[in-house]
């Protein structure tokens, strides 16, 4: 439904996209994640026809979106990062106008306005001028405009920025429902819990390329390890000194505790190995905490440390 191949884009000799490849199937939600400046907005705006590409190909429902953007726009819904609404018109007038632009006929337009307003909780203030609505209400209305014509491809660029918890939840529910009806959704964000809540597959955009692609579970398994946090009375044992010390802290008994985080593959088994290797030093161990890996830790590993072999070596060193 959406296919991006070899997409490149530079601004003033600075290469923002260095050959992005991404395919999104009908009914799939892809969480496009990346740090600020990774190129998420550039990518979504090229797909939406708002920016030109230097190289590459974007196909939306079989239409070449770079050669014929207007034809592709009938299949596309864009929720840009900045709210785009007419403040002096009512919510209904905004929806009616954008519904007309996508050629929704009178009855179906009216029905769709009622449907999206209902599903996004907009019905009660649909006839109020937009300038009188709260930030969260505007954010939902902004999203409703893009969903009005049931586009085959929906692009959302950080759609929950500034939204309250209620608005955020409604938006996420609606995006999930939208995909369940068969639309391909690209959800650009740097809020990792949202990607997990949506049950989205993940595409990590880093330094102009998609560096990881797959479902959250496999990306976490592949790129992030669980870890154990050990607290010792006094100094950290010398055979653990190569791991990251996360600071000293006093306990209730006035003792100074030193903490260290150790990545592990199999928490129970590896912890037993670590404690055995500590020998007599294990008597200074005061607490143990397990940390489960998350998308965030996987992302940090992928974008912060490119070589996970180092961690493999660290784990093996402790176990031996």
Partner 1 sequence: MRSFNNSVGRIIAFWLNESRRMKADPGQFFVLVMLPVLMITALTPMALAVLRMKGYSNANGAEQSVPGMAVLFSFTSTTILGGSFFREHHWNTWERLRASPALPFEIILGKCGPVFVLSMCQLSIVWCVGILAFHLHISGSLFTIAILTGFLSWATLGIGMALVALCRTIDQIGIIGNIGSMVLGGLSGAFVPIDLHSSSGMVARFSPLFWALKAYQSVIFEGKGILDNGFACLLLFGFGTVGFLVGAARFRMADAKIGRT
Question: Which residues here bind partner 1, judged by CB under 8 A?
Answer: 48-51, 70, 73-74, 76, 78, 80, 82-89, 93, 97-98, 100-103, 129, 145
For residue 50, the minimal CB distance to partner 1 (Å) is: 6
For residue 125, the minimal CB distance to partner 1 (Å) is: 16
Closest to partner 1 by CB, 145 vs 278, is 145
Closest to partner 1 by CB, 71 vs 300, is 71
For residue 71, the minimal CB distance to partner 1 (Å) is: 8
Closest to partner 1 by CB, 102 vs 212, is 102
Task: Write a three-state SS string for 295-309.
Answer: HHHHHHHHHHCCCCH
For residue 164, the minimal CB distance to partner 1 (Å) is: 20
Cβ atoms of 27 and 35 closer than 8 Å: no
For residue 122, the minimal CB distance to partner 1 (Å) is: 17
How does strand 2-11 pair with strand 14-24? Answer: antiparallel
**DSSP string of the chain, one letter each residue:** -EEEEEEEEEETTEEEEEEEEEEE-TT-EEEEE--TTSSHHHHHHHHTTSS--SEEEEEETTEETTT-HHHHHTTEEEE-SS----TTSBHHHHHHHHHHHTT--HHHHHHHHHHHHHHTT-GGGTTSBGGGS-HHHHHHHHHHHHHTT--SEEEEESTTTT--HHHHHHHHHHHHHHHHTT-EEEEEES-HHHHHHHT-EEEEEETTEEEEEEEHHHHHHHH---EEEEEEESSPPGGGTTSEEEEEEE-TTS-EEEEEEEE-SSHHHHHHHHHHHHGGGGGGEEEEEEE---HHHHHHHHHH-S-THHHHHHHHHHH-
| Strand-pair partners of 244 | 261
Closest to partner 1 by CB, 151 vs 237, is 151
For residue 9, the minimal CB distance to partner 1 (Å) is: 14
For residue 70, the minimal CB distance to partner 1 (Å) is: 6
Closest to partner 1 by CB, 35 vs 89, is 89
Closest to partner 1 by CB, 17 vs 230, is 17
End-to-end Cα separation, the chain, in angstroms: 50
For residue 89, the minimal CB distance to partner 1 (Å) is: 6
For residue 77, the minimal CB distance to partner 1 (Å) is: 8
Q: What's the burial of 94, exposed, middle or buried (CB within 10 Å: 0-12/13-18/19+)? A: buried
Closest to partner 1 by CB, 162 vs 304, is 162
């Amino acid at each position: 439904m959406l296919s991006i191949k070899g997409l490149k884009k530079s601004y003033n000799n600075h290469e923002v996209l260095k050959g992005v490849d991404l395919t999104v199937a009908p009914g799939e939600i892809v969480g496009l994640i990346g740090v600020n400046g990774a190129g998420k907005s550039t990518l979504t705006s090229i797909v939406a026809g708002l920016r030109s590409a230097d190289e590459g190909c974007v196909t939306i429902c079989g239409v070449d979106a770079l050669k014929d953007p207007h034809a592709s726009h009938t299949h596309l819904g864009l929720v840009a990062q900045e709210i785009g609404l007419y403040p002096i018109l009512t919510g209904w007038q905004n929806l009616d106008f954008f519904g007309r632009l996508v050629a929704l006929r009178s009855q179906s337009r009216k029905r769709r306005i009622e449907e999206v307003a209902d599903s996004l909780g907009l019905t009660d203030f649909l006839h109020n001028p937009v300038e009188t609505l709260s930030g969260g209400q505007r954010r939902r209305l902004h999203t409703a405009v893009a969903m009005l014509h049931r586009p085959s491809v929906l692009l959302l660029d950080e759609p929950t920025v500034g939204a309250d918890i209620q608005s955020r939840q409604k938006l996420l529910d609606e995006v999930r429902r939208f995909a369940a009806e068969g639309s391909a959704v690209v959800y650009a964000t740097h809020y990792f819990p949202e990607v997990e809540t949506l049950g989205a597959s993940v595409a990590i955009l880093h330094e102009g390329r998609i560096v990881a692609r797959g479902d959250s579970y496999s990306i976490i398994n592949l790129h992030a390890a669980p870890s154990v946090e050990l607290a010792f009375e006094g100094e950290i044992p010398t055979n653990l000194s190569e791991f990251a010390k996360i600071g000293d802290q006093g306990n209730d008994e006035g003792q100074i505790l030193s903490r260290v985080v150790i990545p592990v593959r199999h928490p129970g088994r590896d912890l037993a190995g670590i404690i055995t290797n500590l020998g007599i030093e294990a008597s200074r161990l005061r607490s143990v905490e397990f940390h489960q890996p998350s998308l965030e830790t996987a992302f940090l590993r992928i974008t912060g440390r490119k070589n996970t072999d180092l961690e493999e070596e660290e784990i093996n060193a402790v176990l031996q």
